[in-house]
Amino acid sequence: MRPALPLVVALLGWAALGLLASADLLPARGWAWAGGLLALVAAVDALRLRRLPLPDAARRMPDALPVGVARDIALLLDNGAATLRVDVHDLHPVGWQADGLPRTLSLAPHSETRIDYTLRPLERGDAEFAGIHLRLHAPWRLWRRTVVLGTPQAVRVFPNFAPLAKFALLGSEQASRAIGAHVRRRRGEGTDFHQMRDYRVGDSLRRVDWKATARMRRLISREYQDERNQHLVLLVDTGQRMLARDGTLSHFDQALDAALVVAWLALRQGDAVGLLASGGAQRWVPPQRGAGAIDVLLRQTYDLQPQPLATDYLAAATDLSLRQRRRSLVMLVTNLRDEDADDLLPAVRMLQQRHHVVVASLREQILDAVLEDPVRDLRGAVRAAAAASYLQQRAIAHEALRAQRVDVLDVTCAQLPGALVERYLAIKRAGVL
């Protein structure tokens, strides 16, 4: 228990009366009686606060949360026989953004109170809520008592799976456009036979199955689709480059979200998807297909974190070459700097011996903002020149990769999901795998 502001004010007033008594402006006996009365009132109020029954407290929340997305959390307070005035706060993990707390309430006797607030996790992995923090006010407001109720609750923070739930009801092309990919019309046909159907006006005569036509006595066309059962491997950098941040989330968090989006779409296309995390923390998820594969990817990557270590691209390429023998589309997501080109080129050449390689190089959004800002002074001119020089060196590194017939995507984190999906669909429809 701690004294509240009214008790502190009363003690200061009593001290002021002591000054008056020392100056013979007030009888000393009156000052002593005032002190005794104040002590008695404070003691009674403290005793009453001690005897107040504590409410039962519980928290309702999902067992898993997506990083960077606000979610509703509910706190439930079941009060007993006494009227309580309380300040309520939830002991959520440090650094998470909460809106709607703390809250001051008056709890009626034998009542149930629900407190809703929104919480935005900013870090993936395992987290724990320590309990529900209550500060009870004494009946005469002279004291405050702090208690922590409820039981600790563990929660897992996953990569942002909210877009996957939103796209689940859309077709593949609709979902691709919603992500931001520019889906180009196909020229020609897919390579895998899909089904027989009645001839439609505009079908090529090459698609007519004459044996089925003769048997059915009407025109029957063959329908083809993109080749299925191909492999996509997402090679995600977990080194120091991915510690850079755009907004509240790191490049790695946003890269992982984008990787899950393209993985989900590839699984819907009938392909197998795997993931290799390399650079800092290591993780290997072998390619697999089916609706449950996205859940496996979520469970295997939710606690991955980038580390302040230099990425060894050649070691990552060697590891992937040993693990993935079948020809695949390999999408490497990293934050490429000009000094990394000499290390990345031999790694890419190794992967190209068996796989088709795409390198997505993340660009800090602040660089684009610096170049778009008008230059008004010398400091602004120096910043713009430095940003332009840095981007030019990046462009040189990208051109060195393109000279080795590597697809290079120079994108910001916001552009990454659409760029990966667009390139995946283009490669799949081109039939280069």
User: What is the DSSP secondary-structure string of 340-376?
Assistant: GHHHHHHHHHHHHTTSEEEEEEE--HHHHHHHHSPP-
- Residues of the chain short of pLDDT 70, as ranges, are 162-195, 202, 223-228, 433
What pTM did the predictor assign? 0.72
The whole-number pLDDT of residue 290 equals 86
**What is the number of alpha carbons within 13 Å of residue 332 lying toward its C-beta?**
30
Residue type, 18: G
Nearest one of 162, 288, 197, 173 to 234, comparing CA atoms = 288
The whole-number pLDDT of residue 187 equals 45
Identify the CATH number of the domain defined by range 162-169+173-183+227-430: 3.40.50.410
In sequence order, what are the residues at sequence separation of 6 or more whose Cβ sits closer than 8 angstroms to the Cβ of residue 396? 338, 341
The whole-number pLDDT of residue 69 equals 87
- 56-158: which CATH topology? Immunoglobulin-like (2.60.40)
The whole-number pLDDT of residue 405 equals 86
In sequence order, what are the residues at sequence separation of 6 or more whose Cβ sits closer than 8 angstroms to the Cβ of residue 343? 312, 313, 314
- SS3 call for 418: helix
pLDDT tens track for 79-133: 988 899 999 999 999 889 999 999 999 999 999 999 999 999 988 889 999 999 9
The whole-number pLDDT of residue 163 equals 67
Beta strands in 176-326 (DSSP E): 192-198, 220-225, 231-237, 245-246, 249-250, 272-278, 283-288
Provide the 8-state DSSP code for 247.
Answer: T
The whole-number pLDDT of residue 185 equals 47
